Structure 1
């Protein structure tokens, strides 16, 4: 009579031990990306990539820009959902929370880590980024996650995986005024050469071209943070940079950067 409960208890213990090992192997990045939130089970994944947990909570994988069915190739959103479903639904996984409280839509913010056979454990976010099914979207809560995620994104982009083949998600040129105009209010990734640096009383402007080109805006209060991160804003003239964030076209295309991880230095531009 006791064999079944004992067997289930042992199976549960084995699963927990496997997940503990997974977290141990991934300890560096999990510690940087959030705090342990216990063992959970995913019940389903919706079209936005949000994960319904068996305990009734909804998890948003923080710090990602996921493809949507209404934007670009709808097959990309389906592929992202399929990846999460196959890897996590019906399986127990370790929850990593980047913030203790739920957001205003009552969603938990974090990531899931599950053991993967014959490979290092990968989190949901890492798996999506590596497959080209998500872009890194800087958020304050995921600051500790982004350096590793950007490396995975760079590899996927170089291979042209997933969203990196879709014109709706690719990196934009800073002087492509037409493409920028179509993306007002959207999260974008843009590359260009810093042609001019303007200093205002409260803000600093990096102009990446002439009329219609992107201007990158930063509060002068953030200069010290960029300096400490090796990206002194006032010394970027002539350099090619990549920036990411929400595009605001009310006064010409502008993108405000508030964290050094929103800007990548790509080297000096060749003289023309």
Structure 2
């Protein structure tokens, strides 16, 4: 690969030059050496299959449930050479997580997100390695492309959220209560007893959010966008696996201290 082409790749994918992990980088985001592969086919859920026998999935991307459009867009690239940059460790199926660039300069993940055919998400990784994809996603959302044709479900619409049980969703709403507990923190989007979303945050993820300036005080009454798979317990629940699961959309208002006691008996789950 020429120096010019590699510099262009680094600029597009947000990689350091040379391709190596910066001090303090998330382990899941540290890139391995760049290499060229020939795309042989597209497997289930967007799996990239290479002539070399390797398999990969695009990093920083949540593959959609209704994936005809996304698959068709990737199939157009079959037979082409792609430059791949593996990140972190392989997934549970032994597939690499990669950034991928075609000879004509198309970033495969960015192309899908820009067309509204996939959401920017860490997936199984511990961090969103390419946060700039969220800006690309915002543009697709404003243009109401693909996944964003319809208005997203509101966090206080329990009935709509229940219909999405087991599915990945991007939900917007205002946090009405923050309950910090020993094992996890609960973000409630409706008053106690009402039917609506609760987001659960593990202690580890809550510490990582705190390192980014988020806290019970700063999140109360803030309008946010949250993404993840919806489970149904007492009400609809999304487990926030990474800090990037939560995006603050406004400046909100200050919070009074959490009035609930140390037990979880009053928490909607």
TM-score (norm 2): 0.79
Structure 1, gaps ≥5 residues long = 1-15, 72-76
1:160 — aligned with what?
144
Structure 2, gaps ≥5 residues long = 22-28, 254-269
Kindly indicate whether the alpha-carbon contact (under 8 Å) linking 1:29 and 1:145 is maintained by their aligned counterparts in 2. no
Kindly indicate whether the alpha-carbon contact (under 8 Å) linking 1:63 and 1:142 is maintained by their aligned counterparts in 2. no
Question: Counting helix residues as a fraction of each chain, which structure ranks higher?
Answer: 1
1:65 — aligned with what?
62
- Give CA deviations for 1:84-115 in whole Å, capped at 9, x if unaligned: 222x3212111111134x43323222221123
2:182 — aligned with what?
201
Task: Determine if the alignment matches structure 1 residue 81 to structure 2 residue 71.
Answer: yes
Distance 1:54 1:22, change over 3 A: farther
1:6 — aligned with what?
none
Q: How many residues align?
A: 239
Question: Counting strand residues as a fraction of each chain, which structure ranks higher?
Answer: 1
Work out the CA distance in 2 between the residues paired with 1:222 and 1:98: 21
Of the three residues 191, 194, 197, the one matched with 1:214 is 197
2:260 — aligned with what?
none
Task: Determine if the alignment matches structure 1 residue 96 to structure 2 residue 85.
Answer: yes
TM-score (norm 1): 0.78
Mapping for residues 111-122 of structure 1, pairs under 5 Å: 111-116=99-104, 121-122=105-106
Deviation at 1:244, TM superposition (A): 0.9
1:235 — aligned with what?
218
Mapping for residues 124-143 of structure 1, pairs under 5 Å: 124-139=108-123, 141=125, 143=127
Deviation at 1:268, TM superposition (A): 4.2
Work out the CA distance in 2 between the residues paired with 1:216 and 1:82: 34
Distance 1:217 1:194, change over 3 A: same
RMSD: 2.5
- Give CA deviations for 1:177-207 in whole Å, capped at 9, x if unaligned: 1111112222111111111122323222111
Kindly indicate whether the alpha-carbon contact (under 8 Å) linking 2:222 and 2:249 is maintained by their aligned counterparts in 1. yes
